[in-house]
Amino acid sequence: MYPEESTSQMVSDDRMTRDLPSFPLEESGFSNMSSSLNPARGDHEFFEDPPTRALDEHLVEFSEALRTVAKALRQVAEGKASAQAEAAIWKRKYELEKERNSSLKHQEATKIFHSGSREEETENLRNKSLVHDSSPEKSVHCCGKDGICSHETLGDGAADANSNKQRRMVTRKASFRLAWGCNGDNSGQHKHEVVSFEKGNITTAGRSSKQILLKWESQPQTVLILAKPNSNSVRSLCAEMVRWLKDEKKINVFVEPRVKIELLTESSDFNFVQTWKNDEEIKDLHSKVDLVVTLGGDGTVLWAASMFKGPIPPVIPFSLGSLGFMTPFQSENYQEYLDAVLKGPMSITLRHRLQCHVIRDAAKDEIETEEPILVLNEVTIDRGMSSYLTYLECYCDSSFVTCVQGDGLILSTTSGSTAYSLAAGGSMVHPQVPGILFTPICPHSLSFRPLILPEYATLRVQVPLNSRGQAWASFDGKDRKQLAPGDALICTMAPWPVPTACQVDSTNDFLRSINEGLHWNLRKIQSFDGPRDF
């Protein structure tokens, strides 16, 4: 062998070795040969994970990132809904404070004009405080009297010294105050719960769950009558009551537009009846009406509550329906009952409402929070027409509660405890007990029992993204809304209860309703004769 040939062959082999890694050696089967031909790179690993494994790892990382983003957006949506609810409460407090201050200034200006005495002005301003607070403990002296002070007279403008006639024509809302009736004592003293921890022993000296009394400070001037539709007996009673209120009591009467058309069809003498034209006027209805009279059943009371998105005047419910858990007054004696109510004082039941927010698709960038909905009975979340079980995740004050797998879930007020919640196995609760009932509908678990949560709890029910089907939410049996995977429903106790008048008192009316309406614990009495232990 010539030296030149040996050198040329070595150069050729070296070039081949350098070019080998650029070929797909796995497919050609020369991986071992390449390793032997290139001992300098023999320790280097040429083989990597299959492409599918790398793709799976990227998908896992991407899904984890999506979950993190979804969780963050969900928290932002919940914070937005909570902030909107709190802002609405403070806005309403500010409006009430502004109306109260304006009313007091109007009253003082009128008194000064009639008396002409500056001393009386100073004395009245000293006795009346302009401080308004939502807690009963701080508001018991806001009008210089014992009890829980409510709204004062609403004035429509400043006093006009040149026209007494115009001043008399100004429509004002009647003022009243709330007091506590303690064991039959109607003194109006607010007896709240006192906790003592003297010497390390915790005791309660008194309780605040007493009967609430409404006492008029000025005569009611305006009454709103809401009547059940498609009923001849209700229509005739409504016409009779409107005439009696106007002729005998000199009271202004508001009715629904539908009812006014029916009254005018019957007689043109009902021209004095007032109504509203659009939804904007309904929003201001609570500032014009002193009392709300319902003619129907519990559904009419629910309709009355749904009309008022904020404060609602006292409701006088007359029974013209089927069961009537919230309608203690009989329509045959309406004159007697209305006389007693207009004179006062009257016992009332504060029926708490739930405030619900629907958050649309909390896992997306664009978060839509709908207008809050107030319910008096319950909000129901069910599977609708879907053949799959409802799958819901439930949280209470950001703490996980449980996953609901069944036909659905009921979030009920204590007033609604005798409605759908009772049929689903929930407890019957006194309507003045503040709380939220958590009742499952046909759960696929024998250990899923109903709960009663405190009134300050914030509940969040959401449809998980991996849910097989959608859910449907209904509010007091209407306004059904679809909840898609990712949507959430937030429920809190609303700050505006529905004050309903009692025939006797709150407890008596509640026990009468479950005995007469549901025949609660009705059983034949055991005969006195027979075997005995003695």
Same domain, residue pair 299 and 167: no
Does residue 264 sit in the same domain as residue 318? Answer: yes
How far is 66 from 140, CA to CA, in rounded Å?
53
Of 351, 377, 402, which marks where a domain is finished?
351
* 68 Cβ neighbours under 8 A, 6+ residues apart: none
pLDDT of residue 52: 65
Selected catalytic residue, list 298, 382, 476, 509: 298
In the chain, the amino acid numbered 357 is: H
Task: Give me the number of domains the chain comprises.
Answer: 3
- DSSP secondary structure letter of residue 391: E
Residues 311 and 270 in one domain: yes
CA angle 432, 429, 416 (to 5 degrees): 85
Q: Are residues 100 and 175 in the same domain?
A: yes
Kind of pairing between the strands at 451-454 and 478-483? unpaired
Cα–Cα distance, 275 to 292 (Å, whole number): 13
Quote the CA–CA distance of 349 and 506 in Å, as a whole number: 6
Residues contacting residue 369 through CB under 8 Å, at least 6 positions apart: 77, 80, 81, 84, 357, 358, 359, 360
Of 285, 320, 351, the position where a domain reaches its end is 351
Catalytic, 298? Answer: yes
Judge whether 280 lies within some domain. Answer: yes
Considering the domain boundaries, does residue 315 fall inside one? yes
Separation of alpha carbons 163 and 482, rounded Å? 57
The tokens 């664009």 sit on which residue? Answer: 366
311 and 331 both lie in a single domain: yes
- Domain holding 260: CATH number? 3.40.50.10330
Q: Give the pLDDT confidence score for residue 368 in this predicted structure.
A: 53
Q: Please tell me whether the peptide bond between 345 and the residue prior to it is cis, using omega within 30 degrees of 0.
A: yes
Same domain? For 361 and 347 the reply is no
The pLDDT of residue 291: 94
Residue 35 domain-assigned?
A: no
pLDDT along the chain (534 residues), means of 10: 45 46 43 45 48 72 84 80 77 75 67 50 45 39 45 38 43 74 50 56 62 89 94 93 93 94 90 90 90 95 94 94 88 93 92 93 56 94 91 95 96 96 96 95 95 95 91 94 93 94 93 92 82 74
Are 343 and 361 within one domain? no
Structure confidence at residue 481 (pLDDT) = 94
Of residues 342, 338, 348, the one with CA closest to residue 213: 348
Of 282, 317, 351, which closes a domain? 351
Q: What is the pLDDT of residue 45?
A: 46
Going from the C-alpha of 467 to that of each of 362, 385, 405, 445, 489, the distances in angstroms are: 14, 15, 10, 18, 16
∠ CA 224-227-230, nearest 5°, is 155
Residue 110 belongs to domain spanning: 73-191+209-216
Report how far residue 356's alpha carbon sits from residue 491's, in angstroms, rounded to the nearest whole number.
Answer: 5
- Whether residue 464 lies inside any domain: the answer is yes
The region, left, alpha or beta by phi > 0 then psi within -120 to 50, assigned to residue 29 is left
Q: What is the pLDDT, as a whole number, of residue 111? A: 56
Q: Are both 379 and 452 inside the same structural domain? A: yes
Maximum alpha-carbon separation in the chain = 140
426 shares its domain with 383? yes
Within-domain flag for 284: yes
* 131 assigned to some structural domain: yes
Identify whether 202 is part of a domain: no
The closest of 147, 153, 145 to 173, measured between CA atoms, is 153
Same domain, yes or no, for 99 and 172? yes
Nearest alpha-carbon partner for 81 in 461, 421, 408: 461
- Do residues 148 and 184 share a domain? yes
41 lies in some domain: no
User: Distance between CA atoms of 199 and 210, rounded to whole angstroms?
Assistant: 29
Q: Are residues 186 and 136 in the same domain?
A: yes
Contacts 24+ apart (CB under 8 A), 230-239: 231/296, 231/320, 233/320, 234/295, 234/296, 234/320, 235/262, 237/295, 237/320, 237/331, 237/334, 238/263, 238/295, 239/263, 239/266, 239/267, 239/270
Element (H, E) at 17: helix 3-19
Query: How many alpha carbons lie under 13 Å from residue 452 in its C-beta half-sphere?
Result: 17
